[in-house]
Structure 1
Amino acid sequence: MDKSNLLNVSNLKKTFIKKSGTFLKRKKTEVYAVNNINLEVKKGEILGIIGESGCGKTTTARMIMRLMKETEGEISFEGVNLCNLKDSETNKIRKKMQMIFQDPYDTLNPGMRILDILMEPINAHEKNLPYQAKYQRVVEAIEAIELRPAEDFIHRYPHQLSGGQRQRIAIARAIILKPSFIAADEPTSMLDVSVRAGILNLLLDLRKKMGLTMMFITHDLSTASYMCDRIAVMYQGKIVEIGPTKKIIHKPSHPYTKALVAVVKDLNHFIKNREKLILDGEVDSTKEEKGCPFVSRCPHKEDICHSQVPNLEAIDNGHSVSCHCHTELLERTS
């Protein structure tokens, strides 16, 4: 195992049971939310996970953060397999791993003051600290998220803050225990466009000051290109391409990634060339693996794509793709 990796995920799977039909004739179907994910997050980097809604991004993060049990696989954090830990052992790890959720309206208790909200994780993990030391830690966290002076915010309730301020408080709650790893699940998608850049720059600033390692989940490729050192593209519970941000943006190899990049670069180009980029079709995560998960929507599919699941193979230094046809596609575009 590479010691430069803070997090290693191996063969991670999560299936849910979908029930349908009548009471007398109930049908159960397995839904593959995450299907054999393999990735690593290096110390100090920001790894972006992008993909459309329902591709398994958030489920992957929730399993890594131990908010959900995996069906199969291994999650190694600082060399410790989190999947084998008891609840009491997992609680000790939680101090080092924190999460920023998507919706600041739902993640802050409306009946608690900001002081109590930020004091809560300290009371859970460092309850022997004197009250004054806890209070000072809260003040420092609020000032770190650029809400100054802290005393103007510390006794407010969440409804007395704007959406951007609420998300900053959620970030303060994540950093107050001084973690080494943060998973940010679309932290700006619920905010006005005018305040998104401030939140993104705050996260980049905190990463530099605190030496944080991050997993940044988003469906917006332009945001991922601004924030991330590397990007993993997910489709139907699988990683179909992963590599340095510049290579994903400027030299995408998977047809799905090419379509995402085309939309970001030039919407008119995407509309005019839509048939060459991506075909109509719907995502179906209930089917058993018989071929490429993208085959029903891919304009470049071949016979092998229907019968054989492509492996995630390295095509360049740090750049891997899961596609039977990536060599031919590269030759066509070069």
Structure 2
Amino acid sequence: MSYESLIQVRNLRKTFSKKVGKHIFNRKTVAVHAVNDIQLDVRKGETLGIIGESGCGKTTTARMLLRLEKETQGELWFDGTDLCTLKDKETNKFRKRMQMIFQDPYDTLNPGMRIVDILMEPINAHHPKMSLKEKEAIVKTAIESIDLKPAENFLYRYPHELSGGQRQRIAIARAIILKPDFIAADEPTSMLDVSVRAGILNLLQRLKKEMGLTMLFITHDLTTASYMCDRIAVMYQGEIVEIGKTEQIIRRPNHPYTRALVSVVTDLNHFIEHRDEIILDGEVDATRVNQGCPFAHRCPFHEEMCDHTAPKLEEVGEDHNVSCHCLHKVDTSQIGVKEEQVLS
């Protein structure tokens, strides 16, 4: 089955440098492999989720897609154009077609600017010849589209006069005000009270449907991912280790790391019975250079070949790919969770 992709990522890498050591004048520089040779397609009209623990490279991947970070290596095709080959001025014409919703609504908005000025900034940047009356009409429409009504009550407020949920709604309005094709949402509800999270998620779902958006949704929470996403990519130490339809990932996870993530929301008795297989020792270490599988040092099914041969994403079912040498050891019938359990 073929799909039309809006974004195609090929061999994308991002390496940072950082100083380590106790003594300030005798510190070593080490490489941090944030994203390591990922292959990824984001299909038109879908919401693709990226899940994984902190430090796995989720946010760095999104920032590269939005050209907020320059890649170390690789190709990034957006609607048929390789953005990695463009100069900054050439990239600007694509920026209004791709926007990002950041994690923290308290850091996202300039505290010294009124809401009307915050929302008018992207219009001024991309439509400088538009009249002030037209710009104000667009701003009012954007505010009301995020369920802050009447818009006049919010236009001249400052961010500190809004609640966390209202701030995030304004951040969403800023992301959609140019009518983009693609939005990357980086854990947009993780900093909000539980009572307002559902409202933000429902708002994103509605806007996606009304505007025909393609969305990348980053989260560490499988429950949120299962509600929001059509497909889920599981990321570990800068690599995609499993990708498939949401139902496949939550009901029949194949990769040992995905199994560990899913176990958090599965039956408690099963978790206790199989805890030796599920609980992972150690943490993600992005400075580790992997000749083999990045998950080898934490995997309960570890084999010798995992240390020196890197696995590749291989198809295990329809539209379901896994990167693992030890799938023959994994009994996928013993773990998995029904969708209603995840959403409860």
| Secondary structure of 1:296 counterpart | helix
Matches within 5 A, 1:145-156: 145-156=146-157
Q: In structure 1, how many angstroms separate the alpha carbons of the residues matched to 2:35 and 2:248? A: 25
Compared CA separation, residues 23 and 202, structure 1 to 2 (3 A): closer
1:12 equivalent to 2:12? Answer: yes
Aligned-residue offset at 1:99: 0.3
Q: Distance in 1 between matches of 2:262 and 2:289?
A: 29
* 1:258 and 2:259 correspond: yes
Deviation at 1:24, TM superposition (A): 5.2
Alpha-carbon separation, structure 1, partners of 2:111 and 2:217: 26
Q: How do residues 68-83 of structure 1 correspond to structure 2 at under 5 angstroms?
A: 68-83=69-84
Q: How does 1:130-141 map to 2 (within 5 A)?
A: 130-141=131-142
Q: Which residue of 1 aligns with 2:179?
A: 178
Gapped runs of 5+ residues in structure 2?
A: 336-344
TM-score, length basis structure 1: 0.96
| Paired residues, number | 333
Residues 1:36 and 2:20 are matched in the alignment: no
Q: Is the 8 A contact 2:12 2:39 kept in 1?
A: yes
**Percent of aligned pairs sharing the same letter:** 67
The question of 1:54 aligning with 2:42 is answered no
Report the CA distance between 1:278 and its aligned residue: 3.4
* 1:168 paired residue number: 169
CA distance in 2, matches of 1:3, 1:307: 34
- What is the CA–CA distance in structure 2 between the aligned matches of 1:122 and 1:241, rounded to whole Å? 39
Q: CA shift at 1:215, angstroms?
A: 0.1
- CA displacement 1:222-257 (0-9 Å, x = unmatched): 100000000000011110000000000001000010
| Whole-angstrom CA distance in 1 between matches of 2:194 and 2:54 | 20
Q: Name structure 1 gaps, 5 residues minimum.
A: none
8 Å Cα contact 1:259-1:270 kept in structure 2: no
Change (3 A) 1:156 1:331: closer
Whether the aligned pair in 2 keeps the contact of 1:256 and 1:278 (CA below 8 Å) is: no
Provide, for residues 60-118 of structure 1, a one-character-per-residue CA deviation record: whole Å limited to 9, x for no partner: 00011000111001110010101111111111110000000000000101111100000
Instruction: State how far apart, in whole Å, the 1-side matches of 2:271 and 2:308 are.
Output: 29
Q: Aligned pair 1:157/2:158, yes or no? A: yes
3-state SS in 2 of match to 1:195: helix
- State the distance in 1 between where 2:60 and 2:45 align: 23
Shift of 1:3: 7.1
Deviation at 1:330, TM superposition (A): 3.9
